Structure 1
Amino acid sequence: MPFLAGNPNLAITPDFQSLVNDAVNNQQATTILANLWRIQNNADKHHWTTRIEGEACKAEAEYRKATEEEAQCQQTLRAEQEATIQEEHKKNKAKYAPIKDINIPSDPIIIPCQYVVCKMKSSDYCELSYFTNSSLEEASCSTFTANEDTLIMLPVSDGLNKWIPASATRDPKA
């Protein structure tokens, strides 16, 4: 069927009165031509409706396909972003470690005296008495030195400085 230029539903019946010949009278010719035109117009209407429905189905299929492609692209993008985030989490575990919801400790950290810390770092034996409450309290009050024989310069009341062994000094703030 050739492509219809216009909508046959809007077509107007032509005037067949002027097409009459001697074999057929005017009324018969008009009726025959009108019937032929109506039959052809009904066929054109059917083809027109079929074409419009086909175009609507094609447009709907194209829209559905475009929507599915867009959804697929969005899903692929989300998967790539999730993979990137997981890779970033694997690379920087400390950065993405969960933070516990606890208060910041306000108590100072009490460590034993420097002599014991140095012995522990060198993997030497040290007695457990250095870790009792009284020894830890004494260590927090004393000046931190690595060696008991170290001399510390302290100012004296007469404006001079005096050298005192580190084991004999205490923190004046304590």
Structure 2
Amino acid sequence: MPRIGNDPNLNICPDYAILPFAGARARIISEHIDEHQAIQILRDIWEAANDIEKAQWQEQVEADREQRDNLRLQQEEREDRQEQERLEEEEAARKEEKRKLKHKYAPIQASGVPDKLAITPSAYATRKLDKGEYVELWYFTNDGLDDAQTKKTVIKDDAMVLSTLPDGSTAWVSAASSRNAASIVNDEDLNFEDFCQACPRFITAIEEADWPVDRVRMLAIFWKNLQVHEYRSLRDPIAQKTLLAYQAEQRKRWHVVAKSSAGPYDLSGINTKLLERTRERVYWQERSKRDNQRDYMVSNVVFHLISYTS
């Protein structure tokens, strides 16, 4: 149905008695209908047509109103949805900021000033733990903590410095990774006292980094089993070195496997066969080291004798 352009309620019935409508009147006039009646018939026809247009106009007005109402409701719903999405995005951003800056938003405790200062490892080690990656225990020894305390104000950890790689090439790396690589002690080269010192600090650090409870418990049991192992109390220096080497190797291997399709396994139990292999390897490494030192000393003596007699 075509739209009506003008409100038919405002239309005025033509004067059918005037000359322009004479032809229309003549077609109606007959022996039973005079001119006055013809004029009235024309008016009745116009009014009937106008009433139809009025009804159509009303339907059109109501349809337009309903469409406007629907469009308004849709717009309001769209605006409400957009506002809700904006609020959800803002809330998600706040939660993400709180997650990343959890120390900033941590509630103040009513415990007062603590007697001991909090353990603060280097930012480099903290970031590695936040990612769930392998970190050397040295960072949690007294030397590692002292190093973090004295060097953290010298240069920002995020600053990039030019470093020489093992193959002789150079690359831009973070200042933290560069300086720490030069100063850290590998796990297998720690003394047993430093190892025992670092383990509880490491456990506290991974708890603060939100590591899963089962992983925290696994590492705690793993280190406890090493510290109470019978090798710990043997007079043979190779025994304690074996425990440290086993710890270093197995923890590194665990992190590698944890990222593979096989997934992480329970590290806490000591594998006796692997421990014995480790002991044998450590023994031969230490023996080779002593032999090299002896050969060096002998060659030095021979060199000086030859120099003295020549």
TM-score, with length taken from structure 2: 0.32
Tell me what 1:66 maps to: 75
Shift of the 15–91 alpha-carbon distance from structure 1 to 2, 3 Å rule, reads same
Give 1:60's aligned amino acid.
D
Could you tell me how far 1:101 is from its partner in structure 2? 6.0
Out of 41, 44, 61, which is 1:32 matched to? Answer: 41
Could you tell me how far 1:69 is from its partner in structure 2? 0.5
Out of 76, 80, 93, which is 2:89 matched to? Answer: 80
Separation of aligned partners in 2, 1:59 and 1:85: 38
Query: 1:7-50 CA deviation, whole Å, 9 max, x = no partner?
Result: 11011111111333252421110111111111101000000111
Out of 41, 61, 74, which is 1:52 matched to? Answer: 61
Structure 2 residue matching 1:2: 3-state secondary structure: coil
Moved segments of 4+, more than 3 Å: none
Out of 102, 106, 110, which is 1:93 matched to? Answer: 102
The percent identity for this pair of structures is 29
Could you tell me how far 1:2 is from its partner in structure 2? 3.2
Separation of aligned partners in 1, 2:34 and 2:52: 27
Separation of aligned partners in 2, 1:2 and 1:25: 37
Rg larger for? 1
Give 2:101's aligned amino acid.
N
Structure 2 residue matching 1:94: 3-state secondary structure: helix
Give 2:83's aligned amino acid.
Q
Q: Which runs of 5+ in 2 are unaligned?
A: 117-141, 143-192, 195-310
Could you tell me how far 1:80 is from its partner in structure 2? 1.1
- Bigger proportion of residues as helix: 2
Could you tell me how far 1:5 is from its partner in structure 2? 2.7
Could you tell me how far 1:3 is from its partner in structure 2? 2.8
Query: 1:124-159 CA deviation, whole Å, 9 max, x = no partner?
Result: xxxxxxxxxxxxxxxxxxxxxxxxxxxxxxxxxxxx
Aligned length: 110
Tell me the C-alpha RMSD between the 2 structures. Answer: 2.5
